[in-house]
Amino acid sequence: MDGRQKEHCTQRQDTSAVRHRKTCKANEGSECLSQPSNETSNGANKRIPKRGGHLDSPSKDDHVSVYTLVLVLVLSVCTRFYKITEPPHVCWDETHFGKMGSYYINRTFFFDVHPPLGKMLIGLAGYLTGYDGTFPFIKPGDKYEHHNYWGMRAFCAALGSCLPPFAFLIVLELSHSTPAALIAASLLIFDTGCITLSQYILLDPILMFFIVGSVLCMVRFNTQRLRPFSFSWWFWLLLTGFCLSGSLGVKFVGLFVILLVGINTAFDLWRLLGDLSLSLVDFGKHLLARVFGLIMLPLFLYTTIFAVHFVVLNRSGPGDGFFSSSFHSSFQSRLIGNNLHNASMPEYLAYGSVITVKNLRIAGGYLHSHWHLYPEGVGAHQQQVTGYLHKDYNNLWLVKRPDNSDDLTGPPELIRHGDIIRLEHKETTRNLHSHFHEAPLTKKHLQVTGYGINGSGDMNDLWQVEVCGGKKGDPVKVLRSKVRFLHCSTGCVLCSSGKTLPKWGWEQVEVTCSPYVKETPSTQWNIEDLINPKLPNISLSVLKPTFLEILWESHIVMIRGNSGLKPKDNEMNSKPWHWPINYQGLRFSGVNETEYRVYLLGNPVIWWLNLLSLALFLLMLTVASLAKQRGVKMEGMRKVHCHTLMEGGGMLLLGWLLHYLPFYIMGRILYYHHYFPAMLFSSMLTGITLDIFLQNLHLLFSSSISHYLVRGGQFILLLGFIYSFYLFHPLSYGMRGPLAHDPASSMAGLRWMESWEF
């Protein structure tokens, strides 16, 4: 620690400064360098020593940073809002998220695998800018025509425009270097991929806004260590919690930034625990404040998002059938326009009832049959039994006694755990049947068919009803009981495989009889609708779920839906190792030379520089760590750089790893755009790495030469970003004419990799 820093620490007389002085001594001055205070012992403001202890002019460094930040903001807004209404048709996933925004405007219930905040904000932006929610968003390429879509795109672009300024402020706080902050911001300003993702009705710019906002608030909160429990301390703590709830409220990927903030908080608390001048009571206050601001507040806001979601979406819509049957019928009873709204039905299942049966797995469907037969060569040439995702008359089944001797005059007999039944298809009068033939798609399972005439069949039509978790004599409850249907002859269990049948099966869901009798959602069913005039009805409002039950059920459905996302036929997906090297992009719009083409691809100069900088950072971090371990004397700027690499750079590297590595173990379909949150951390790390590398060229060259090398290097970097953006900007703003593989194309010379398809 140099003389001025010692004098600065000595001048502090209040309790916080005493604790801080002890920390400075313990950490060899790094804490003084990273967390200086602006107050002197008499309370007057004083310029603090930065980098090596030199006093900065109040009007020089701060003003340069402010002017640079304004420039970053202007460039960011210009690049994101340029041609914001082009093309005037649906592009890529706008067909999903634009449609969901419309659902909020129309208050129509729907299901999505992501939490609702992003779609709610899109719908709100459309509503406030005059969009009436009537555009259908059927498929990419549909013309918007007179519909007012620009507001939703502008909202996403506005949040995307915040990313470079946020990155600037984060890097400035971590490195105290305006050039480093400018390099990091420029990487995002001139990246064609970030621009493209920000210009359309997507969740990505909203998600990245909250992720980077969380990191910025966390970094700002860390600077308040000398002013615990002050207004600014509480402000940044609570704002961090607010942004964390927003991150998770848009996509479950927000869990990664929550983990990053959690690790930072754990280290912060560990540091406080080691401060012997801090009493355990004070430490307990710090702990409780963080529990409140970073756990309780985000959880409250997150659940509030869902509360608003369910209050707004109070009309029947396409999401009605996605909840499990035991839950969703009682849930549907609260939806205006649903056939179960204010409805009633019997509470228990009895012989002679007409029922619908729904599988518990995601997209398992209703038990369904129709007049069509399985084609020749696909098991027995008998009537098809499938799973159908929508309500239909062909979903109705009549529950009969095993001997077909139904008593039409006596009182109804309830069906209980272990009873044997026949299920006769109401429309075709054929029985639910299985036998020792292979299922159409799942070859280890047995085929399920409709067999017999007017309810007459054979012993292969008998099924034993089992209440999951029940015992002998337990009645089967409508909506609430999970039941299995055990085939009496073969011992297999009625199952919905989730696989889609070919066109001969009308692309409905395959229903099989599984020899694996373990309880899974695929083999569990619910009695959803029940008609039996002999049984007393109860109102479905009695079964109305609580908000916590709705919240829990919706998360189970979302998680299952997320993990079940698989690539469709001929759909192009990507692997995580493709992403950092910019191996392959995504078509947002257009496929031929006559169409307006937009292609999601990162600026290759920027992305490959990020990759090289990552390797350079690891090398520099290794050298700095070895030098520190060997006791090499570091003073002034060298000590600051070492601290910045280890603290600021380490935090950004951890952010990159947390937002990238988990995708290697995910079983769901992955796309190129999933890498962009990690790319934000990589770009900020590049800003710090390149700045420190340039600032330390004096170790290799003389002072006069290194000064020019630093300025020249900074100029070349910015010029390279701008020029490469000029070359590749048609990827973001649209191209027409010949494709890049045609020598006559203006993009022909820019197709540097064969995998690029623009």
DSSP codes of every residue in 706-720: HHHHHHHHHHHHHHH
Tell me what the mean pLDDT of segment 413-440 comes to: 94
Q: What integer pLDDT is reported at residue 40 of this predicted model?
A: 34
**84, pLDDT greater than 60:** yes
Tell whether omega for the bond before 228 is within 30 degrees of 0, i.e. cis. no
CB 260 within 8 A of CB 661: no
- Beta strand 397-400 with 354-359 is antiparallel
Q: What is the DSSP-derived secondary structure letter of residue 295?
A: I
Q: Rounded CA gap, 495 and 85, in Å? A: 48
Buried b (16+ CB within 10 A) or exposed e, 585-601: bbbbbbeeeeeebbbbb
**424, pLDDT greater than 90:** yes
Q: Rounded CA gap, 677 and 662, in Å? A: 13
Query: Mind listing the pLDDT tens digit for each residue in 570-604?
Result: 455 688 999 999 998 888 888 777 788 898 999 99
**For 538, phi and psi rounded to 5 degrees?**
-125, 150
Q: What integer pLDDT is reported at residue 406 of this predicted model?
A: 66
Domain boundaries along the sequence of the chain: 60-308+599-731, 342-536
554: amino acid identity, one letter: S
Handedness of CA 722, 727, 730, 732 (dihedral sign): negative
Buried b (16+ CB within 10 A) or exposed e, 652-677: bbebbebbbeebeeeeeebbbbbbbb
Which of 67-76, 313-322, 470-479, 605-614 has the lowest average pLDDT? 313-322
Give me the helices (H) in 56-93, please.
Answer: 61-81
Q: Does domain 342-536 have CATH number 3.40.50.1100?
A: no
Q: What integer pLDDT is reported at residue 53 of this predicted model?
A: 36
Reported in sequence order, the residue ranges of 243-347 that DSSP labels E, i.e. its strands, are 344-346
CB 272 within 8 A of CB 278: yes
Q: Which of 215, 303, 229 is nearest to 262 (CA)?
A: 215
pLDDT tier for residue 330 given thresholds of 50, 70 and 90: low
Q: What integer pLDDT is reported at residue 11 of this predicted model?
A: 41
Q: Which of 318, 313, 341 is nearest to 329 (CA)?
A: 341
Buried b (16+ CB within 10 A) or exposed e, 391-412: eeebbbbbbbbbeeeeeeeeeb
Residue whose structure tokens are 């959803």? 528
* Average pLDDT for the chain: 85
**364, pLDDT greater than 90:** no
Tell me what the mean pLDDT of segment 327-335 comes to: 64
Q: Which of 493, 487, 505, 498 is nearest to 384 (CA)?
A: 505
Query: Mind listing the pLDDT tens digit for each residue in 536-579?
Result: 888 776 666 778 877 887 887 788 777 666 655 445 568 899 99
Can you tell me whether residue 143 is helix, strand or coil? strand
Q: What integer pLDDT is reported at residue 756 of this predicted model?
A: 85
Q: For helices 297-312 and 117-128, what crossing angle results, to 10°?
A: 60
In this structure, the number of other CB atoms found within 10 A of the CB of residue 568 comes to 9
* Residue predicted with more confidence, 421 or 407: 421
Query: Mind listing the pLDDT tens digit for each residue in 667-720?
Result: 778 888 999 999 999 999 999 999 999 988 887 887 888 888 989 999 999 999
Q: Rounded CA gap, 649 and 620, in Å? A: 11
pLDDT tier for residue 1 given thresholds of 50, 70 and 90: very low
